[in-house]
Structure 1
Amino acid sequence: MGTAEQLAAAGVGFGDEVVVPSYATAEAAEAVRSIGALPLFADIDPGSFCLDPAAVARAVTPRTAAIVPVHLFGHPADLMALRLVAAERGLLLVEHVDHTEERGGSSPRQANAAYLTSRLTGVVTPVTAPGVVHRYDSYVVRVPGNGRPDRDAFARALRARGVRCRVPVQTPVHRMPSFRRELWLPETERAADECLALPVEEEMTRRELQRLVSVCNGLGGLVPLAAA
């Protein structure tokens, strides 16, 4: 069963709140709204980009009925901690499968990710929680700085040099017109400003990986707007 069906089968519906991440696609929030419930957005862990259990606990209200974590970019959400929050508050927990995510997980993709992580400088490479297997559906780095212009300038400079890249989450769900909420999720906002997905596909050759590293490192991290 899909997320909406699982929630509905458990009796979640009109008037209930369901905690979902805003830093993701709108799929989970749409599933919640499709059964008449209200998406309740909580902040993310800055390392995994998935729901932060502590933020979830803070967001819960008497109307909250369930938590719907989303595994993002191939890094699983912290289900153990989220189950503890759910158990303490008497909430349902339903894992959401985001069908818009790439499905990686092959050894070549993970080997490519390891190569990039060991050689990239000037960007913050992905973090993997202890004991977790990262599938690297996407290889998402941070371009740290003072906000979106730094990341976007870096992306334009990469593309100008023939390197494919994309912003993995263009707009957090709580800022989309159909879901707009007046709330501040600092880690979500920071990730939306800093994150960039670099190519890591299984079919990439070592030469392509070396060129990717060379171009990224040659830019030296932040790129002034005028240089892009």
Structure 2
Amino acid sequence: MNIPMVDLKVQYHAIKEEIDRGILEALEKTQFILGPNVTAFEEEAAAFLGVKHAIGVASGTDALHLALAAAGITEGDEVITSPFTFIATAEAIRYVGATPVFVDVDPKSFNIDPARIEAAITPRTKAVLPVHLFGQPADMDAIQALCTKHGLLMIEDCAQSFGADVNGRMTGTFGALGAFSFFPSKNLGCYGDGGLVTTSCPELAERVKVLRNHGSKVRYHHSVIGYNSRLDEIQAVILRVKLKHIREYSEGRRRVAHLYSELLAGTGATPPFEDGKGTHVYHQYTLLTDRRDAIMKALTDAGIASAVYYPIPLHKQDVFAADYAGVSLPAAEEVASRCMSLPIFPEMTEEQVRRVVDVVKSALKA
């Protein structure tokens, strides 16, 4: 039984007729740049998330970049964020000339530890950029309170958390801006690159719209230096279809995750943590174990995928190492050395989950 990390084909075939019809209709209309499906998706996503404005952009990385730029983060500023995430989070901070300030994570949630944020604030700090890693919402109450106390912006990295909430309020609606990714493997994924910026501030929304379209409000009139970062019309078609099913997809992921945790109880592997304040949507199902290499080898031998997200914390990456020499973030470093992710997708069957668990248990006993 070969089991991939995520099976995009089975999901596509379940919605194939509607996807194919929508794409063909878009091709017939030939409105390919900022067309009607982009507008409709932006409105539908904003309504689903409970935010006033949603602006489609070309990727999740661009969503972070344009959110920071629209917020006025610039050279000389500092942005506090997590070292345990994909590099795009810190890349985007560098794109606008600012400095990422890495704060250690909570080893249970893998998200930035609010208790450590205040000590990292300096006169140059302009924003906090929490990451809702693996679909687990960060501690929004604590982070928001710190931002209010110190007059800081909060910009959320929601690349892995579409549909996650905290006490019923969706991620991407707490900060001044939120940034989402629609990379194909994401919980809400298109069939290429795509991203979204959310905000309830009309001025910030207008800035993002101008920045994504070459700094232009009116064609051939350019008020600022902008970018070419527009969500593709065909990708918007796909996202509109999938958005109708996102609650079902989230519940499917949670079903799989909870079955994993039930079957792995007592094995010594530490399952993902849920804090009870919000809904974890399990973009990844990530364990902590001292037997990572043995488990991954056993899974590979059995035709089952696994992965390590992320093996090197950002402050240890070559591109940042010189600037953060001597910086120790022990929780992030330990998590990175012990974490591993098992296959998870909404359509995963109980048989598949049990097969994965059987192999993991055998490896742990060996």
Report the TM-score, using the length of structure 1 for normalisation: 0.88
Show the counterpart of 2:271: 125
Show the counterpart of 1:52: 113
SS of equivalent to 2:320: coil
Flag the 1:63–1:37 CA change in 2: closer, same or farther, 3 A: same
Distance 1:189 1:64 in 2: 24
Distance 1:10 1:111 in 2: 38
SS of equivalent to 2:80: strand
Matching residue's letter, 2:344: V
Report the TM-score, using the length of structure 2 for normalisation: 0.56
Distance 1:219 1:95 in 2: 38
Larger radius of gyration: 2
Question: Which runs of no fewer than 5 residues in structure 1 stay unpaired?
Answer: 224-228
Matching residue's letter, 1:178: V
Structure 1 position 213, deviation (Å):
1.4
Counterpart among 6, 10, 21 of residue 82 in structure 2: 21
Structure 1 position 217, deviation (Å):
1.4
Show the counterpart of 1:226: none
Structure 1 position 162, deviation (Å):
2.5
Show the counterpart of 1:213: 357
Runs (4+) off by over 3 Å: none
Matching residue's letter, 1:52: D
1:189 matched to 2:333? The reply is yes
1:134 matched to 2:195? The reply is no
Contact 1:122 1:217 (8 Å CA) reproduced: no
Structure 1 position 40, deviation (Å):
0.7
Contact 2:136 2:279 (8 Å CA) reproduced: yes
Distance 2:358 2:295 in 1: 14
RMSD (Å), alpha carbons? 1.8
Show the counterpart of 2:308: 167
Structure 1 position 215, deviation (Å):
1.2
1:40 matched to 2:124? The reply is no
1:154 matched to 2:295? The reply is yes
Show the counterpart of 2:231: none
Distance 2:94 2:320 in 1: 10
Distance 1:106 1:6 in 2: 26
Aligned residues: 217
Matching residue's letter, 1:129: D
Contact 2:306 2:342 (8 Å CA) reproduced: yes
SS of equivalent to 1:178: helix
User: In the TM superposition, what whole-angstrom CA distance separates every residue of 1:111-166 from its partner, at most 9, and x where no partner exists?
Assistant: 111111011123111110122111011100111x3xxxx42232122212322110
Show the counterpart of 1:203: 347
Distance 1:161 1:4 in 2: 41
Contact 2:298 2:360 (8 Å CA) reproduced: no
Matching residue's letter, 2:320: F
Show the counterpart of 2:73: 12
Structure 1 position 7, deviation (Å):
2.6
Show the counterpart of 2:11: none
Distance 2:74 2:87 in 1: 18
Contact 1:159 1:165 (8 Å CA) reproduced: yes
Matching residue's letter, 2:150: R
Distance 2:65 2:252 in 1: 34
Matched residues, percent identical? 36
Question: Which runs of no fewer than 5 residues in structure 2 stay unpaired?
Answer: 1-54, 56-62, 160-180, 189-248
Counterpart among 108, 131, 139 of residue 78 in structure 1: 139
Show the counterpart of 2:124: 63
Contact 1:102 1:138 (8 Å CA) reproduced: no
